[in-house]
Amino acid sequence: MFARLLTRPRPLLAHRTFATTAARAAPARVARQSVAPSAPLGVDAALDPTAASSPSPKIFDEFSLRGRVGLVTGAHRGLGLEMAVALAEAGARVYCVDIHKQPDEEWQRAKQYVGGMGDGRSLEYVQGDVTDQQGMWEVGDLVGEREGRLDVCVANAGVLKPGEDCLEYPADTFDEVMKINVNGVLYTAQAGGRQMRRFQKPGSIILIASMSGSITNEGQPWVSYNTSKSAVKQMARSMACELASEGIRVNSLSPGYIYTKLTAAFLEPQPELLAEWSSQNPMGRLGRPDELRGVITWLASDASTFCTGSDIIVDGGHRAW
């Protein structure tokens, strides 16, 4: 039966349609390939006579941000400052943007710490309101004028409002969360991306989302926050597809519960809630701010040049359950 099917004549019309389609098909194009910024690397370096004659590790060069410039919003304290310090330690000059007019002592000490490492590393503070699109574009212009480049943009500023019944949630509160967590992220990404386009340099834009953009936190009525973080993830995917041809990568980073000073102030009066949150992931604890240092540096650096449009989850396995 199978043989008969193979030899059965096909209708003439179908044959003509196939022939016409084949004749009009465009020739296949060979996709343009890329070369690593630090090439040759790995096995290619081992096989390269020049590199093999004086071998040296390249992996640290791939993670290096030496000579590069970063912008991080919400970097007056907390996770934003932690990420800014990590980028600076990797070699970058980092502009910390926040709504406060002046940074506090904690930020000043971080600046002094980074500056003491030398080799061009620095933290600079710029006041900015992420809900002001023109203002954020001007912050980007300021960095561009000073540095002649902007390589890394981290849209971290965000807010979580006290829980409300979703059916009674106030419109003004919902709008406020959206303005900061969604509009503010877009305006920040625009501020960074416009400078990358201006100087025609590849760059990395990192949008800070949350595991709450993929799941609903058990027992927490956070409809505005969860909605906003889901929007951030889709924003990253959309921007990644638009900007890839310009060498601009866009990814989102989704942390789980992280034990920051602000989190501690919220949880310490409620030890039962701390125990509950800790039990909701296989590791049985909340994350530390420093546990985001590696992933933010990887996303910002040449070590992740084929990663765009992705959501990187760092939640201690919370979503695995």
What is the three-class DSSP state of 132?
Answer: coil
Measuring CA to CA, how many Å separate 218 from each of 198, 254, 262, 273, 286? 44, 17, 20, 11, 15
Q: 225 an active-site residue? A: yes
d(CA 244, CA 251): 11
Q: Can 113 be counted among the known catalytic residues?
A: no
Distance CA 152, CA 125 (A): 16
Would you state the structure tokens that stand for residue 48, as one six-digit string? 């390269």
Handedness of CA 163, 166, 168, 170 (dihedral sign): positive
Distance between CA 232 and CA 156 in Å, rounded? Answer: 11
How far from each other are the two terminal CA atoms of the chain, in whole angstroms? 50
Q: Tell me how far apart the alpha carbons of residues 98 and 100 are, in angstroms, rounded to a whole number.
A: 6
CB atoms within 10 A of CB 236: 27
Residue 40 preceded by cis peptide, ω within 30: yes
- Reported as type and span, the H/E element at residue 177 is helix 171-178
Token reading at 176: 């406020």
Instruction: Enter the tokens of residue 75.
Output: 């970097």
Decide: 78 and 260 in contact? Cβ < 8 Å. yes
Catalytic-residue membership of 210: yes
The torsion region of residue 120 among left (phi > 0), alpha (psi -120 to 50) and beta comes to left
Which of 229, 254, 257, 304 is labelled catalytic? 229
**Single-letter amino acid, residue 40:** P
**Two tokens at 17?**
């349609």
Please pick, among 210, 212, 301, 310, the residue that the annotation labels catalytic. Answer: 210
Which residue is catalytic, options 95, 125, 187, 225?
A: 225
Residue 71 contacts residue 191 (beta carbons within 8 Å): yes
Instruction: List residues with catalytic annotation.
Output: 210, 225, 229
